[in-house]
Amino acid sequence: MKKISTIFAFVVAMMAFSTNIHAQGMDPQAMIQRQVDRMTSELSLSKDQVAKIEPLIEARMNKMMELRQQGMEREEMMAEMKKINDAQAEQFKAILTPEQLEKYKTMQSQARPGGGGPRE
């Protein structure tokens, strides 16, 4: 009986943890929408720009989720994520105006400690 109680408590705790992750916005779709909304407001994106940027952000998020599920070593995963971030930044150059691109770079450097590259 004690084992059953322990297992039940563990399952309940895991369900609560999973619900908490989604409540904190760890849901990939919510993360994508939050980034699109932030970029739209801070960079004053047009509807056309949003339509072009949203699929890029979604593709990047999907690649990031795949990397996390592969169970890579941290350094290897960080290197792959940097490649993905750099590729997305290149794609943004064709969509954003020069002023928006500068604001985007500033946003990214402020969002990451140490002023790292683009972030979701």
Label residue 50 by pLDDT band (50, 70, 90).
Answer: very high
Domain ranges in the chain are 27-111
Average pLDDT in the chain? 79
Label residue 67 by pLDDT band (50, 70, 90).
Answer: confident
Write the CA distances from 6 to 13, 14, 15, 54, integer angstroms.
10, 12, 14, 44
Q: Please, how many CA atoms are within 13 Å of residue 16, restricted to the half-sphere of its CB?
A: 6
pLDDT at 73: 86
Write the CA distances from 78 to 54, 60, 84, 113, integer angstroms.
23, 14, 10, 15
Q: Dump pLDDT digits (tens) for 17-37.
A: 444 444 454 688 899 999 999
Q: Dump pLDDT digits (tens) for 81-115.
A: 889 989 999 999 999 999 999 999 898 888 765 44
This prediction's pTM? 0.67
Write the CA distances from 90 to 30, 69, 114, integer angstroms.
24, 26, 21
